[in-house]
């Protein structure tokens, strides 16, 4: 498996400094979600070539998939993001679904989302980029977010039916929403493109809460998964020290 850091791991560092931190810790990618903040894509590409690591994921610019009237606005944002991906080495693109709309049947919103994602799929297939749908928990962090459960998320992916539209499985969110993390991560692996990890409660670095990340990551690795696992979390101590602890206490047991 490959491991990535999120841009929030080091406050105040620019994208190239963040990539240097990724390389320093022996990781493989950087989630730099706001791609518009990259000042010079050519300099980014030079740094990626020099360091041997690159941006592994970005976010698209507009997150409403459930409102069919906003489809063209969503697609326009995706096209802009795909242009960046082409220039920057084709990282994956993360999207959320937007808020459930009151007074409109849930199935109608789901149908509109699937139709928009089918339009996205054609664009992503042509670009060779994977668009990743992310369920979020509605209990703590994102009340009203449309897509929260693994089974419904997998059903959306199945209806779209494209190798370029997958899921990002956020272990923190799914622990809060439904538990059964290992069972769901393994059961839906063919729909999952990459993972986010953080501990619960608090969304801090693995090892600070209730989740047994040695067992979780071993189970994922045991499936043969070779994609990205990204630390999308805050830190209770100095980031460098926290990453050293993560590698020593968790990754050493997973990757041995």
17-76 per-position pLDDT tens digit: 999 999 999 999 999 999 999 999 999 999 999 999 999 999 999 999 999 999 999 999
Per-residue tokens: 140: 């703590």
| CA dist 146 → 66, 92, 179, 180, 215 (Å) | 8, 22, 18, 20, 30
Which residue carries 């070779």 as its tokens? 226
What secondary structure, in 3-state letters, does 182-237 show?
Answer: HHHHHHCHHHEEEEEECCCCCCECCCCCCCCHHHHHHHHHHCCCCCEEEECCECCC
**What is the pTM for the complete model shown?**
0.97
Instruction: Report the alpha-carbon distance of residue 106 to residue 103 in Å, rounded.
Output: 9
Model pLDDT, residue 183: 98
Question: How many domains is the chain partitioned into structurally?
Answer: 1
What residues make up the domain containing 233? 2-254
pLDDT, averaged across the chain: 98
What Rg value do the Cα atoms of the chain yield, rounded?
18
CATH of the domain at 159: 3.20.20.150
Instruction: Report the alpha-carbon distance of residue 210 to residue 204 in Å, rounded.
Output: 11
């Amino acid at each position: 498996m490959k491991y990535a850091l999120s841009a929030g791991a080091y406050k105040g560092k620019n994208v190239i400094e963040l990539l240097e931190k990724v390389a320093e810790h022996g990781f493989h990618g950087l989630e730099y979600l706001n791609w518009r903040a990259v000042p010079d894509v050519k300099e980014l590409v030079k740094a990626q070539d020099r360091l041997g690591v690159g941006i592994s994921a970005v976010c698209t610019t507009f997150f409403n998939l459930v409102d069919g009237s906003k489809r063209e606005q969503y697609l326009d944002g995706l096209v802009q993001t795909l242009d960046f991906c082409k220039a920057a080495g084709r990282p994956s693109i993360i999207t959320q679904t937007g808020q459930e709309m009151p007074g409109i049947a849930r199935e109608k919103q789901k149908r509109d989302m699937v139709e928009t994602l089918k339009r996205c799929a054609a664009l992503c297939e042509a670009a060779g980029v994977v668009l990743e749908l992310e369920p979020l928990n509605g209990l703590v962090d994102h009340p009203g977010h449309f897509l929260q459960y693994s089974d419904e998320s997998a059903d959306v992916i199945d209806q779209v039916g494209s190798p370029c539209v997958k899921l990002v499985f956020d272990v923190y969110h799914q622990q809060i929403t439904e538990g059964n993390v290992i069972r769901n991560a393994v059961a839906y692996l063919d729909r999952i493109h990459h993972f986010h990890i953080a501990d619960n409660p608090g969304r801090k670095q693995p090892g600070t809460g209730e989740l047994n990340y040695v067992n979780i990551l071993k189970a994922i690795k045991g499936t043969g998964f070779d994609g990205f696992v990204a630390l999308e979390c805050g830190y209770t101590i100095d980031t460098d020290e926290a990453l050293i602890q993560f590698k020593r206490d968790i990754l050493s047991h997973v990757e041995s």
